[in-house]
Amino acid sequence: MKTFEQLYFQAIDGTLDEADRAAFEAAMAQRGINPSEIARERAFSQLLIREARRPTLRHADFFSSSVMERIRREAARDGAQAVSRSRGFQWSRLPAWARLAWGGAASLAMAVALTLALRPHDHAGSQRLTTRIFSLHEFAAGMSATAISSPVSHYAVVWTDGIEYIPAETRIQ
Amino acid sequence: MSGDDAIQLQSGRESAGTHPSCDMQGATADQALEARLVRQSLEGDLDAFGRLVALHRSRVFSMLVQIVRNEEDAWDIAQEGFVKAWRALHTFKGDSAFFTWLFRIMRNLAIDHLRKRERRAETRLDEAYPGEAAGASPAASPAKHTDSPDERAWQSEIASRIDKALGELSDEHREVIVLRELHGLDYNEIASVMGCSVGTVMSRLFYARKKLQNLLRDLYENL
């Protein structure tokens, strides 16, 4: 079922077929539109076609060269980006197995790093020194000693509390 | 494709004052040429795209000026539109004419521009539109060049009245009048460009014509 506007423009365009003509004439009569209106509509279209201004593109070649210059710049930039993308590492371009392998390797590396970072310090040296200090003196309730050593930096620090002195003949190694 | 082909087609499209609907002969050949240029452009041939620009620039510009009613804005929109078309060329499937696809891009840019301009509450379009002084010319037949000065003055007056009346239409009504009446796009093409149904196009056109006839009543009643 065609709308009145469809029939109206078919009539103006001269493409109204016989089957639709009767329906259109009935619709025109119902709306109180004179059939001569169609001829005036056609004339109105002709007036617009004939008399309306058509802005002309001046400096058309400059227009084109300006557009093409912009496109060339973009194409060159896109090309450069594509080259840099193709040279660089791109996670999304890796196949699934490679992404899995990379992910596994990265997880393992992190686990190793965490283990090393959180590993308790080796206080064996400190324990040994403390033991030696204690072995040289009788235990007293008010005595305490703390020692740390660094085999890498070759130093040892001993804190004592309750000991008045360490005998001169004692060497701490 | 030879350069001559493009030049021949270009001269047909670029000639001012001819209604596009009168230029339908050889449409199939034009489409074949356009399809070839599009294909070459997609393969990275910038010269082929340059020929597409040359084929359509005048018509695009003319339509844009009539829609946005400012030549500088139309120039900028057309420039942007062609660059955008280049970027989006891979999305052109060939299920519509290239011009329809191209002008849909231009039209969307023009609508965005009009909305921004409305928000900025700029000067009314018809005040800014330089009309004939800036190079617009009535769509005159070659015979008009021999008209008397009085007739030319009268034609210029009519053209000014039509311009002014077009400026008083809403954006949607002006757009549909420009596409259909001034540039002869068919209803399907207009629907595709405007992104609406053919029924909506016809309804808008019906009311746009009535409004325009009211604005040009004195001219219209002397027809």
**Two tokens, residue B113:** 């521009």
Per-residue pLDDT at B59:
94
Chain B, 40-99: which have a CB under 8 Å from a chain A CB? 44, 46, 49-50, 53-54, 57-58, 61-62, 65-66, 71, 74-75, 78-79, 82-83, 86-87
Given B54, B155, B182, which is nearest A64 (Cβ)?
Answer: B54
Reported residue count of chain A is 173
Give the model's confidence band at A136: pLDDT under 50 very low, under 70 low, under 90 confident, else very high.
low
- Say whether pLDDT at B76 is over 90: yes
Express each pLDDT in B119-161 by its tens digit.
876 555 554 555 544 455 555 444 445 567 777 787 888 889 9
Chain B, 118-157: which have a CB under 8 Å from a chain A CB? 131-132, 134-141, 155
pTM of full prediction above 0.95: no
Out of A66-80, B72-86, B133-147, least confident range: B133-147
Express each pLDDT in B34-66 by its tens digit.
889 999 999 989 999 999 999 999 999 999 999
Interface pTM (ipTM) of the complex?
0.75
Express each pLDDT in B148-207 by its tens digit.
777 778 788 888 999 999 999 999 999 999 999 999 999 999 999 999 999 999 999 999
- Nearest-neighbour CA in chain B from A9: distance (Å): 8
CB-CB neighbors (< 8 A) of B212 in chain A: 48
User: Which one of A67, A69, A74 makes the best mutation probe of the B interface by having the most chain B beta carbons within 10 Å?
Assistant: A67
Higher-confidence residue of A103 and B25: namely: A103
Q: Which residue of A has its CA nearest to B18?
A: A49
Say which residues have a Cβ less than 8 Å from residue B109's Cβ, sequence separation at least 6: B77, B80, B81, B84
| Tokens 């209803």 -> residue | B187
Say which residues have a Cβ less than 8 Å from residue B85's Cβ, sequence separation at least 6: B101, B102, B105
A63, B220: Cβ pair inside 8 Å? no
Per-residue pLDDT at B7:
40
Q: Are strands A144-150 and A155-161 parallel, antiparallel or unpaired?
A: antiparallel
Please state, for a pLDDT cut of 90, what percent of chain A lies above it: 22
Per-residue pLDDT at B131:
54
* Residue A59 contacts B where some CB pair is shorter than 8 Å: no
CB-CB neighbors (< 8 A) of B82 in chain A: 67, 71
